[in-house]
Amino acid sequence: MKKIITLLMLSVCVFLAAQGQPEQQFMLPGDSLRVSHNDYKATLDRLAPLVEKGIRNADLYYDLGVCHHHLGNEGQAVLNFLRALNIDSSHPQARENLVYIQALNPNLPQEPRQPYLVQLFLNVYAYFSLNRLAVMVLVLALLTTLSLHLLFHYPPERERGLPVLLVLAFGILLLFFSGALAVKHHRWLHNPKAVVLRPAELRTGPGSGRMLKELVPATTVTIKSASGTQMQVVLPDGLSGWIDRQAVEPVVPNQNYRR
Amino acid sequence: MVVNKYLTVIFVLVCCAALTAQNVKVSATLRDGTIGLSDQMQLELKLSSDKKLDMAAPAAPQVPGFSYRNVLSSTGVQSSFINGKYSSSHTKTFTYIYLPQKKGMFKVPGFRLRIGGKDYATPDLSITVEDSATTTKPPQQYSFDPYYDPFGGIYPDRSRSQGETVLLCLPESQSVWLGEPAIISYYIYTDQRMDSFYSENENDYPGYGKSVYEQPQNLNYEDVQYKGRRFQRALIKRSAIFPQTTGRLQMPTLTGKIQFSGFYSYMNRKVDSSPAYINVKPLPAGKPAGFTGAVGKFSVNQVYSASKVTLGEAITCTVQVSGKGNFSQFTSPLFPSVDKFQVSEPSVDDKLRNPLEGTRHINYTLLPRETGEFTLPSVTFSWFDTSSGTYKTFRGQPQTVKVKQGNVLSYFSGLLEADAPKAMNPLLNRASHSDFRPYVYRTWFWLVLAVLLFSLIVSGIISHNNRLSREDPAAYAIKTANRVLNKYWRQATEAASRLSPEFYPLAESGLSQYLAKKFGISRSLGTGELLNELWQKELPPRLIKQMEEFLLLCQEARYMPGGTEATDLHGALLKLRLLVQALSRLRFGNGKPRNRFSANTGNSLPEEKQ
């Protein structure tokens, strides 16, 4: 038994040491690693190849969004900020910039104002990004395990109320955060949000439906389904319709949408 | 004990009564101690309290030698702020007017009052009435007394129906700056016997705003010279005028009705105030950036409430504007924008003695958003100083504020940040961008979970064994003995498969340890003693016999010369197997070993297969 435990501990140390090593870094070309504040075009040209290589990084998407905004591509800016938030939902600068763009473009469809408690919950949920949730799950798993240890080895002559309460409390929290982690992970892989990149018409049906609304670039939509060259989307204000697939870019590309 | 309780109750009641009691002071005085036959006796009853006095005039005392005429009342409130504490004093004065009937010395009885359930009394007073007046005329008279003639001593021979009465509007200053408040007074000038004045209407003209500055309750006359003649005048009203345009502005005109009393009836006469004008000068050029319309004579200072706060606590910046000016006309300056702080709209708290004079507190609430040391800017307040005719600007001192972390909850501050950003956040300029891989995709994440799960399993097994040893020690002994037996059985089998002579000591050791664990038989006993112990434990005789044979076989193999070669290792292994099987099936019941085969039959053990 001792040997097994020793081996396990050694394995854990080896893995942790391996995780501590620096990961593969994708450096920007050029002598200086610092991007220019003023020349957003040059910065964009230097950052865009990283995305094409398949790098997914919240700060990278954020910087791209800032560059696009300053270059007048509001749709791309919103798309990149949403991608940054998809990776790190607690990215404060990306969130603020989205709010800022929304304030600059009052003609964009507005989301209905949520009740305070809903806002509170959404903010807390956003604060716990995917990795923060994972850490919370580990911490709660540790606390639940310790509580179970306490319960297992609690003196039989004493009342077991305290360890049972601890196990229940930490267990429920562990289940809750595990569920949230699963949901967030699923959303990270299958985020249904998309951004309108060029002016498009929202129609009642795919192809030749009645026009409901003209959508401006930077409008955020939620993809419900896709059919050929058309996509069924829902606007933040709840209006639903069909839009040309080429006009929108999903936050998570290469997804298979339900037909 | 009972007395103590009563004393305590009484003490508490007294304290409560003292706290809630109205602190009233009562005094009675005579305006003059000696008067003439043609004078009035004025008896003043003055009541002062820290609470509002709401009471009717007490009954006039009966004074021998005098006839009672009238009673007048007046109220006053004096408010003060001392060391930030507000206090007020309410005064009520009743003036009883008597006319003397004859000469002599008279006693004026004191008042007996009951206010708030408490009795008050004033001492008796004395007054002397002589033939002629020995005192000067009082500076203020009351025209409410229908029998009183304020001009009796001045114009003793005049006719009551003749004379002149005019209403004049008198500005304090003929020329003011735009926004500078101007005070205008309405006086009634008269040389007639006038009983009362009623304000009926006030006509306004464009170009100004106004508010009441002073509104006397009584007509208090004073001697003045007007048009080369001697007149009596009384203030009707004072207004504060706030000019809104430049040029010549006409002041509001007041219309009223004067009542004269004749022998048998009253006479009324309508009167309009004379037109009055003021010149309003424009403010000079060069208004400061922070000028919000304040015009007057001010002194300004600025105070920050704290220099050290915790996150979540607010800091108040107070700008105090004191002096005389158009308080109702200017707005509060905005607080300079300050990073890392949320700044409220200014709130105004006025402590004004009248519409023009007093102190204004402009409060700004600043809420820190982050911890650290910050320098808060000073507030700028600009005004036009009417005495010097120039703009003046006050700039306070910047304040260094240290914001420290408050409590655990403050770590989550900003979670509900709702303020819209004022600008796009800048680039982050990361040196490198690593590909995002969630922690759930890392090996260590699942390894940690596996370790935790494994520790739970181990802990569960240990806990189960502990519980078993505690609740059923016999079952636990069997369990551990069987474990030992199996362990040695495996080792012995392995040795036998190698045809190793280690088989015999392993088998012997395993058996002795098993018996020690299961039956508590010492491992140091010889074979004979061991078998005796087993007999005493009431083990099946066949099993004891089989064990004896096996132990002898082991000893032969171990200690006889050439014993190893002489013994059949596979046969010995077979014997051991049968022995182990028989021991494994052995169960305990009521503290005695119980074979699932009958112990008495002697045929319970499996037969050795040759």
Q: State the smallest CA–CA distance between residue B413 and chain A in angstroms.
A: 11
How far apart CA B266 and CA A127 sit, in angstroms, is 85
Greater confidence (A93 vs B64) lies with A93
Query: Which percentage of chain A shows pLDDT scores above 70?
Result: 82
Q: Tell me how many degrees the CA angle B472-B478-B482 measures, rounded to the nearest 5.
A: 150
Q: State the smallest CA–CA distance between residue A251 and chain B in angstroms.
A: 15
How many other CB atoms are there within 10 angstroms of residue A70's CB atom? Answer: 19
How far apart CA B421 and CA A102 sit, in angstroms, is 11
How far apart CA A120 and CA A114 sit, in angstroms, is 9
* pLDDT for B251: 92
pLDDT digits (tens, 9 = 90+) for A155-170: 988 898 999 999 999 9
Coil/strand/helix, residue B87: strand
A249 CB within 8 Å of a chain B CB: no
Q: What is the DSSP track for B309-360?
A: EETT--EEEEEEEEEEE-TTT-PPPPPPP-TTEEEPPPEEEEEESSSSEEEE
User: Residue B447 and residue A119: Cβ atoms within 8 Å?
Assistant: no
Nearest CA in chain B to A36: B429
pLDDT digits (tens, 9 = 90+) for B183-232: 999 998 888 777 778 877 888 888 888 778 887 877 788 888 888 888 88
User: Residue A149 and residue B442: Cβ atoms within 8 Å?
Assistant: no
A153 CB within 8 Å of a chain B CB: yes
Which of B424, B453, B459 to mutate to probe the A interface, most A CBs <10 Å?
B424
- When pLDDT is averaged across residues A48-75 and rounded to a whole number, the result is 90
Which of the 8 DSSP states describes residue B251? Answer: P
The candidate with the shortest Cα–Cα distance to B527, out of B541, B504, B540, B511, is B511
Strands A230-234 and B85-100: unpaired
* pLDDT for B443: 93
Q: State the smallest CA–CA distance between residue A220 and chain B in angstroms.
A: 19
The candidate with the shortest Cα–Cα distance to A246, out of A188, A189, A193, A199, is A199
Length of chain B in terms of residues written:
610
pLDDT digits (tens, 9 = 90+) for A226-259: 888 889 999 888 888 899 999 999 999 877 665 4
- Interface list for chain B against chain A, based on CB atoms closer than 8 Å: 412, 414-416, 420-421, 423-436, 438-440, 442-445, 447-449, 451-456, 458-460, 462-463, 466-467, 470
Which of B430, B445, B451 to mutate to probe the A interface, most A CBs <10 Å?
B430
pLDDT higher than 50, residue A175: yes
How far apart CA B552 and CA A176 sit, in angstroms, is 67
* pLDDT for A103: 78
Q: Which residues of A touch B449 (CB under 8 A)?
A: 138, 141
How far apart CA B82 and CA B89 sit, in angstroms, is 13
| pLDDT-based confidence at residue A137 (cuts at 50, 70, 90) | very high
Contacts of B101 (CB under 8 A, 6+ apart): B65, B66, B67
The candidate with the shortest Cα–Cα distance to B23, out of B53, B56, B57, B59, is B53
* pLDDT for A24: 36
Nearest CA in chain B to A119: B416
Greater confidence (B363 vs A218) lies with A218
User: Residue A149 and residue B470: Cβ atoms within 8 Å?
Assistant: no
A91 CB within 8 Å of a chain B CB: no
How far apart CA B601 and CA B483 sit, in angstroms, is 28
- When pLDDT is averaged across residues A98-107 and rounded to a whole number, the result is 80
* Residues β-bridged to residue B432: A27
Q: State the smallest CA–CA distance between residue A23 and chain B in angstroms.
A: 7
Q: Tell me how many degrees the CA angle B129-B132-B135 measures, rounded to the nearest 5.
A: 80
Greater confidence (A95 vs B133) lies with A95
First to last CA, chain B: 104
Q: What b-and-e string marks burial along B585-610, b requiring 16 or more CB atoms within 10 Å of the CB? A: ebeeeeeebbbebebeeeebbeeeee
User: Residue B421 and residue A145: Cβ atoms within 8 Å?
Assistant: no
How far apart CA B61 and CA B68 sit, in angstroms, is 9
Q: State the smallest CA–CA distance between residue B524 and chain A in angstroms.
A: 29
A39 CB within 8 Å of a chain B CB: no
A138 CB within 8 Å of a chain B CB: yes
Q: Which of B415, B454, B463 is the closest to A152 by Cβ?
A: B463
Which of the 8 DSSP states describes residue B409? Answer: G
- When pLDDT is averaged across residues A172-191 and rounded to a whole number, the result is 94
* pLDDT for A23: 37
* pLDDT for B17: 45
Q: Which of A11, A59, A185 is the closest to B430 by Cβ?
A: A59
Q: Which of A8, A19, A149 is the closest to B454 by Cβ?
A: A8
* pLDDT for A77: 93
* Residues β-bridged to residue B310: B404
Confirm if B296 and B383 have CB atoms less than 8 A apart. Answer: yes
Return the top range by mean pLDDT from A19-33, A64-78, B88-102, B121-135.
Answer: A64-78
Q: Which of B425, B431, B438 is the closest to A97 by Cβ?
A: B425
- List of chain B residues with pLDDT < 50: 1-3, 13-20, 81-84, 133-160, 413, 590-591, 595-610
* pLDDT for A253: 84
User: Residue A123 and residue B415: Cβ atoms within 8 Å?
Assistant: yes
Q: State the smallest CA–CA distance between residue B491 and chain A in angstroms.
A: 18
Confirm if B323 and B419 have CB atoms less than 8 A apart. Answer: no
Q: Which residues of A touch B429 (CB under 8 A)?
A: 34-35, 63
Q: Is B169 exposed, middle or buried (0-12, 13-18, 19+ CB in 10 A)?
A: buried
* A44 backbone dihedrals φ, ψ, rounded to 5°: -65, -40
Which residue, chain included where needed, has tokens 């002579």? B501
User: Residue A12 and residue B448: Cβ atoms within 8 Å?
Assistant: yes
User: Residue A185 and residue B438: Cβ atoms within 8 Å?
Assistant: yes
Q: State the smallest CA–CA distance between residue B470 and chain A in angstroms.
A: 10
How far apart CA B458 and CA B270 sit, in angstroms, is 110
The candidate with the shortest Cα–Cα distance to B485, out of B555, B567, B573, B577, is B577
Confirm if B152 and B244 have CB atoms less than 8 A apart. Answer: no
Q: State the smallest CA–CA distance between residue B434 and chain A in angstroms.
A: 5
User: Residue B434 and residue A148: Cβ atoms within 8 Å?
Assistant: no
User: Residue A59 and residue B452: Cβ atoms within 8 Å?
Assistant: no
A124 CB within 8 Å of a chain B CB: yes
User: Residue B432 and residue A58: Cβ atoms within 8 Å?
Assistant: no
Which of B425, B442, B457, B469 to mutate to probe the A interface, most A CBs <10 Å?
B425
* pLDDT for B228: 83
Contacts of B307 (CB under 8 A, 6+ apart): B399, B400, B401, B402
Q: State the smallest CA–CA distance between residue A236 and chain B in angstroms.
A: 19
How many cross-chain Cβ pairs, A to B, lie less than 8 Å apart? 134
User: Residue A181 and residue B440: Cβ atoms within 8 Å?
Assistant: yes
How far apart CA B480 and CA B223 sit, in angstroms, is 125
* pLDDT for B141: 35
Q: Taking the model in full, what pTM does it have?
A: 0.43
Please state the ipTM of this predicted complex.
0.82
Helix locations, B431-560, DSSP H? 443-471, 473-497, 503-519, 527-536, 541-559
Cα A50 vs. chain centroid, distance in angstroms?
Answer: 19
Q: State the smallest CA–CA distance between residue A122 and chain B in angstroms.
A: 10
Q: Which residues of A touch B433 (CB under 8 A)?
A: 26, 50, 55, 57, 59-60
User: Residue A16 and residue B466: Cβ atoms within 8 Å?
Assistant: no
Q: Tell me how many degrees the CA angle B4-B8-B12 measures, rounded to the nearest 5.
A: 170
User: Residue A152 and residue B421: Cβ atoms within 8 Å?
Assistant: no
* pLDDT for A15: 53
Q: State the smallest CA–CA distance between residue A108 and chain B in angstroms.
A: 16
How many other CB atoms are there within 10 angstroms of residue B413's CB atom? Answer: 17
* Residues β-bridged to residue B165: B190
Three-state secondary structure of chain A: CHHHHHHHHHHHHHHHHHHHCCCCCCECCCCCCCCCCCCHHHHHHHHHHHHHCCCCCHHHHHHHHHHHHHCCCHHHHHHHHHHHHHHCCCCHHHHHHHHHHHHHCCCCCCCCCCCHHHHHHHHHHHHCCHHHHHHHHHHHHHHHHHHHHHHHCCCCCCCCHHHHHHHHHHHHHHHHHHHHHHHHHHHHHCCCEEEECCCEEEECCCCCCCEEEEECCCCEEEEEEEECCEEEEECCCCCEEEEEHHHEEECCCCCCCCC
Q: Which residues of B touch A99 (CB under 8 A)?
A: 420-421
Q: Which of A23, A33, A103 is the closest to B431 by Cβ?
A: A33
Confirm if B518 and B477 have CB atoms less than 8 A apart. Answer: yes
Which of the 8 DSSP states describes residue B545? Answer: H
A86 CB within 8 Å of a chain B CB: no
A3 CB within 8 Å of a chain B CB: no
Which of the 8 DSSP states describes residue B432? Answer: B
* pLDDT for B150: 46
* pLDDT for A149: 94
Residue type, B214: E
* pLDDT for B449: 95
Q: State the smallest CA–CA distance between residue B457 and chain A in angstroms.
A: 10
Which of the 8 DSSP states describes residue B273? Answer: B
The candidate with the shortest Cα–Cα distance to B100, out of B156, B146, B38, is B38
* pLDDT for B70: 67
User: Residue A181 and residue B415: Cβ atoms within 8 Å?
Assistant: no
Greater confidence (B40 vs A188) lies with A188
Q: Which residues of A touch B463 (CB under 8 A)?
A: 152-153
